[in-house]
Amino acid sequence: MSISGPITQVTFVGLPGIPHVQPGDDLAALICTSLARAQITLQLGDILVVTSKLVSKAEGRFVDLRTVQPGARACRVAEIVRKDPRMVELILRESTAISRMRQDVLIVRHRLGFTLANAGIDHSNVGREGEDWVLLLPEDPDRSAALLRQRLAELTGVAPGVVISDSHGRPFRVGTVGVAIGLAGFPAVWDKRGQRDLYGRELRITVTGLGDELAAAAGLITGQGDEGLPVVLVRGLRVPVGEGRAADLIRPEALDLYADHQELPGG
């Protein structure tokens, strides 16, 4: 996929042949093998968008629901939302507050700060036999992104930008989109205030969620099903110089007009 403009052409390439990842696998080495298979050499300014599921698998974030004992709080919430109490227990462990709940819906504020359904715990494409295995989000996605970038630099001599992406719903829109939950190598937020628009007017409120925009664009390639392209190379994009992290994209709770979180039952 390419996006052309009057000055630049940005290319998105899904890297082929990434294998089923196991705990402890060297993601950077697997990515380098895929790059070589595609006859691509990393260049300065490249960005890699990596799905959170790939990172979680390498970090061993699997949980067997048969080992989870739900507490009284989880059982009460499970009655409301009509979900497996063991799953609800995991969701509450990964969360700091419940945002919304009703039958089939449990939206929480994750311990990492963002608000999403089911604390991002996933049943699909987990890669373990049986319906009882689930996958948690990475423990610290920003740290994971920084370590992956460092390892890629060791292997290739080039330190690309790294985005760890996940699919989130939105409160006023239908459908999920990719968002950045981990990031390293460039600013996650692009503050354009002070620049000029086409007519010379000064921009006063324009702040772009650059990390999220990249995650969403790459999501068109990675997909949600059997596409098998969990790593996307982005080339040709001009990004501002500097360091950032995905945590910079989270609006502070004190400034969040929608942060009327419900108390956890029994909490």
The ranges assigned to domains in the chain are 2-59+138-254, 63-134
Which residues make Cβ contacts (< 8 Å) with residue 114, sequence separation at least 6? 168, 179, 181, 250
On whether the CB atoms of residues 47 and 69 are closer than 8 A, the answer is: no
Residue 9 — pLDDT band, cuts 50, 70, 90?
confident
For the cut 60, the answer to whether the pLDDT of residue 37 exceeds it is yes
Q: Say which residue, 145 or 168, is predicted with more confidence.
A: 145
Residue 96 — pLDDT band, cuts 50, 70, 90?
very high
CATH superfamily for 2-59+138-254 is CofE-like (3.30.1330.100)
- pLDDT digits 0-9 by tens, 54-63: 999 999 999 9
pLDDT for res 174: 87
Selection from 227, 219, 134, 135 nearest residue 177 by Cα: 219
**β partners of residue 133:** 64
What does the pLDDT average to over 168-189? 91
pTM over 0.95: no
- % of residues, the chain, pLDDT over 70: 84
For residue 158, CA distances in Å to 63, 184, 242, 254, 256 come to: 35, 14, 16, 39, 38
Which residues make Cβ contacts (< 8 Å) with residue 212, sequence separation at least 6? 178, 179, 180, 249
Average the pLDDT over each of 16-30, 154-168, 193-207, 222-236 and give the range with the smallest value: 193-207
Residue 5 — pLDDT band, cuts 50, 70, 90?
very low
Strands 2-4 and 115-117: unpaired
Mean pLDDT of the chain: 87
pLDDT for res 190: 75
For the cut 90, the answer to whether the pLDDT of residue 222 exceeds it is no
How many alpha carbons fall within 13 Å on the CB side of residue 18? 27
pLDDT for res 228: 79
For the cut 60, the answer to whether the pLDDT of residue 267 exceeds it is no
pLDDT for res 171: 80
Selection from 87, 83, 85 nearest residue 63 by Cα: 87
pLDDT for res 252: 79
For the cut 50, the answer to whether the pLDDT of residue 104 exceeds it is yes
71 burial (CB, 10 Å; 0-12 / 13-18 / 19+) is middle
On whether the CB atoms of residues 126 and 62 are closer than 8 A, the answer is: yes
For the cut 60, the answer to whether the pLDDT of residue 144 exceeds it is yes
What does the pLDDT average to over 218-223? 88
- pLDDT digits 0-9 by tens, 65-84: 999 999 999 999 999 999 99
Right CATH number for 63-134 from 3.90.1660.10, 1.10.1300.10, 3.65.10.10, 3.40.50.620?
A: 3.90.1660.10
